[in-house]
Amino acid sequence: MYKIDEKLEQRKKLICELVADDAYVPMKEKELAVLMQVPREERTALREVLQALLAEGRLQVNGQGRYSKPDADKPVGTFISNARGFGFVEVEGMEEDLYVPEDKTNGAFHLDRVQVMRLPGQRGRRQEAAVVRILQRGTKQIVGTYEQSSYFGFVIPDNTRIGKDIFVPDERSKGAVDGHKVVVELTSYGDETHKPEGRVVEILGHVNDPGVDIMSIVRGYELPVEFGEKVMNQAARVPDQVLEADKKGRLDLRDLQMVTIDGEDAKDLDDAVSLYLDEQGLYHLGVHIADVTNYVQENSALDWEALERGTSVYLVDRVIPMLPHKLSNGICSLNEGVERLALSCLMTIDDKGAVCDYQIAESVICVNRRMTYTAVKKILEDKDKTEIAAYKELVPMLEQMGQLAAILRQRRHQRGSIDFDFAESKILLDEEGHPVEIKPYERNVATKLIEDFMLVANETVAQHFFWLDIPFVYRTHEKPDPEKIMKLSAFIRNFGYHIKFSGEEIHPKELQKLLGRIVDTDEETLISRLTLRSMKRAKYTVESAGHFGLACQYYCHFTSPIRRYPDLQIHRIIKEQLRGRLNEDRLRHYEEKLPEVAKHSSRMERRAEEAERETDKLKKAEYMEERIGEIYEGVISGVTQWGIYVELQNTIEGLVHVSSLPGDFFVYDENTYEMVGRESGVTYKLGQKLTVRVRGVDRLLKTIDFEIPWEEQEDR
């Protein structure tokens, strides 16, 4: 189980400071123990600290066993393998990954922690490097398909980055047969002449059994499904109703009219909203968030489990929750008509969208109605008489909410907030898990309304705690890489557009204005996608570095503590601050703990996103397998040297391989993102509309192949 051992972190920090001192000379473990006055009975603990620092790349050791600070020319990172033999190394703080040629991997396996040495050379824009030391193995188990031979078997990894099959001796196969999806534990990582070896530790089922495909992805990403006994025992002891003792000292908001607005199938309702307009024309917006920390105490089994998971994972056929259902769907969920504990952010907002006053308080609430996005859309946008009658007592408040949301959105737009409105997928499955319909999941007036209210609450809370100058977890989005912005600027000049920037600085308003100018043009999709690709990933940090995409200086995640650990973590800090309990010891505790919480939460968020994307790709491939030969209209969503990607109106994406482009020899132009026919001059470019035919599907690789019908080519 993932835990943050504060004593271990303190020891790591002490050793790192020691070896970084100018007066330090490389020492052996025993010499370090004498210098640091480590008692003999604690030497084993010292060795564990040194090994941990080596694995993290914060120390290095030479052939004589002497420890020193890492060589700047030999950075440490995570090895990302490629099926073709080469790989890349992701080094924290470096903009570009390092490229490792096939003959320089030194036996590194996917996700290994490695130390590399830079080489004189580049592959494209990437610096080349060689793996000089494997510090820590990153892959212990692999999920794949078992293939039986005469006296042994092989496991073909589901992860296409792993280009080698895993050899399994017959006596270690656990009775697996052809077509079984299995989990294999690596016993050897192989070398230049031998395949990796392993033993089957679990058989998930046959590849054609219902649900096995998704479970293979779940296990492949090591997503924890079941909760342990200690966690479930703690959850069982949580009360079903709010206790009278827990209400004491809280702001009583039970008489305030409020609603939850979520999707029809949502069960973990962690935010409610209230609103009224006073005589001065000021909006009083309340964003009320489930007080999860009242039931998840710090350092409890529930807390450690939530921290380890980091986030709930929303797969196409299931939800893997961060907290047991007893909490997430029960006492912590803001269900209709029952009393609940909350943290409320009560904001007074003027007609320009400025927050002129606010209060953050522990509260007790009671939601009047559980509403859906569909119902609210029918009331505010469609003016549906039946829906209006069904919620008549709430309609005035909902209409005021619609007005305020529009004001807040306009204010964000004026300051330069960037809104990418690409459609997400809605995949509908039958009872056996087969996809029956795939369509775009469109945002509407109701989804935007909740988004607007959550954004202003997150900003308000982040700003408040920034100025209190106490340890906190922020959601930050760094400015784009200047090189990418320069490349984008050069490209859009071909279409007559330009963006203003100086040196390394660009204001988000410039990108927002660009997106506004291209609306409903032929190049809208092309430029929107390239603009998105120029942006960095948002992440959790302990420094308030601002949020570029939202064009705001202070931002955090406050509104979803049922499904995101950073929200739960800052709720704990908020409550301690409100109760006056943030003494020096507690402040120091959070200063030491939060950096690792932020880093781990960012990693778990990325893992969840990748797993969600893989399950979507799997079901899209399965859906199109039944439609081979059918013709669709689409838009070119990507152009690479191996072909062009086309996205259909239902959000499904497939590849037209360069070898199947009809009638010419096509080459990729990396400067214009185009595929150009050498003889004909026929050009395929991002954003271009295209008719394609489904050529084939590979469910194992989760890929879809398209081709351009000859009749389409002749029309050109």
Buried b (16+ CB within 10 A) or exposed e, 398-435: beebbebbebbbebbeeebbbeeeeeebebebeeebeb
Q: Tell me the chain's radius of gyration from C-alpha atoms.
A: 28
Instruction: Report the b/e string of 492-507 with b at 16+ CB within 10 A.
Output: beeeebebebeeeebb
User: CATH topology for 6-68?
Assistant: Arc Repressor Mutant, subunit A (1.10.10)
Same fold, 76-136 and 141-209: yes
Please name every residue paired with 123 in a beta bridge, in sequence order, or none if there are none. 126
Average of per-residue pLDDT values in the chain: 90
CATH architecture assigned to 141-209: Beta Barrel (2.40)
Domain residue ranges of the chain, discontinuous segments joined by +:
6-68, 76-136, 141-209, 229-242+256-472+557-612, 627-715
Confidence label for 658 from pLDDT (cuts 50, 70 and 90): very high
**In the chain, % of residues over pLDDT 90:** 63
Q: What angle do CA 25, 28, 30 make, to 5 degrees?
A: 125
Phi-psi region of 205 (alpha: psi -120 to 50; beta: other; left: phi over 0): left
Closest CA to 281 of 349, 347, 345, 346: 349
Task: Name the CA dihedral angle for 354, 355, 356, 362, rounded to a multiple of 10 degrees.
Answer: 170
Chain centre to alpha carbon of residue 267: 21
**CB-CB contact of 630 with 694 (8 Å):** yes
The more confidently predicted of residues 454 and 35 is 454
Q: How would DSSP label each residue in 643-672?
A: EEEEEETTS-EEEEEGGGSTTS-EEEETTT
d(CA 272, CA 289): 7
User: In this predicted structure, what is the pLDDT of residue 619?
Assistant: 96
In this structure, are residues 370 and 315 in contact, taking their beta carbons and an 8 Å threshold? Answer: no
76-136 maps to CATH 2.40.50.140 = yes
Centre a 10 Å sphere on the Cβ of residue 677 and count the other Cβ atoms it contains: 16
How does pLDDT run across 544-592, given as a tens digit for each residue? 999 999 999 999 999 999 999 999 999 999 999 999 999 999 999 999 9
Residue 303 confidence (pLDDT) above 70: yes
Residue 489, both tokens: 């600027």
How far is Cα of residue 275 from the mean position of the Cα atoms in its chain? Answer: 32
Interstrand relation of 197-206 and 251-252 (parallel, antiparallel or unpaired): unpaired
What are the phi and psi torsion angles at 437 (to 5°)? -155, 140
**Architecture of the domain whose range is 627-715:** Beta Barrel (2.40)
> Do residues 165 and 156 make contact, with C-beta atoms less than 8 angstroms apart?
yes
Per-residue model confidence as pLDDT tens digits over 486-522: 888 888 887 889 898 876 678 899 999 898 888 878 7
Weakest mean pLDDT among 17-26, 229-238, 339-348, 439-448: 17-26
- What CA–CA distances, in Å, run from 112 to 79, 217, 367, 688? 5, 20, 49, 40
Alpha carbon of 623 to those of 315, 618, 651, 698, 699: distances in Å?
16, 9, 12, 11, 10
* Residue 681 region by backbone torsions, left for phi larger than 0, else alpha for psi between -120 and 50, else beta: left
Rounded-to-integer distance, Cα 660 and Cα 658, Å: 5
Task: Supply the pLDDT for residue 713.
Answer: 53
**Is the distance from CB of 438 to CB of 652 less than 8 angstroms?**
yes
β pairing state of 355-366 and 251-252 = parallel
Summarize the chain as % helix, strand, coil (round to 5).
35, 30, 35
Q: Which whole number is the average pLDDT over 267-280?
A: 95
Structure letter (DSSP) for residue 265: T
Q: Is 441 strand, coil or helix?
A: strand
pLDDT (0 to 100) of residue 705: 97
Q: Which residue has the higher pLDDT, 266 or 294?
A: 294
Q: What are phi and psi of 403, to 5 degrees?
A: -65, -50
Q: For 322-379, what is each residue's pLDDT tens digit?
A: 999 999 999 999 999 999 999 999 999 999 999 999 999 999 999 999 999 999 999 9
Q: Token pair 């949502």 is at which residue?
A: 266
Tell me the average pLDDT across 463-474.
97
SS3 category, 321: coil
Instruction: Flag whether pLDDT at 453 surpasses 60.
Output: yes
- pLDDT for 712: 56
Q: What is the pTM of this model?
A: 0.87
Q: What is the pLDDT of residue 124?
A: 66
Instruction: Look at residue 715 and tell me whether its pLDDT is greater than 70.
Output: no
First to last CA, the chain: 59
The pLDDT of residue 526 is above 90: no
Residue 626's Cβ-count burial label (10 Å; 0-12, 13-18, 19+) is: exposed
- Is 579 strand, coil or helix? coil
Block residue for tokens 């972190």: 9
Which residues are CB-contacts of 78 (< 8 A; sequence separation ≥ 6)? 89, 90, 111, 112, 113, 114, 138
Model pLDDT, residue 1: 43
Residue 19 has what pLDDT? 82
Which pLDDT score, from 0 to 100, does residue 173 have? 94
Spatial separation of the C-alpha atoms in residues 271 and 260, rounded to whole Å: 6
- Answer for the pair 690, 662: CB distance below 8 angstroms, yes or no: no
The helix (H) or strand (E) run that includes residue 139 is: none
* 281 CB burial (10 A radius; 0-12, 13-18, 19+): exposed
Residue type, 539: K
Give the Å distances, CA to CA, from 402 to 258, 399, 412, 457: 14, 5, 16, 16
Beta bridge partners of 369: 259
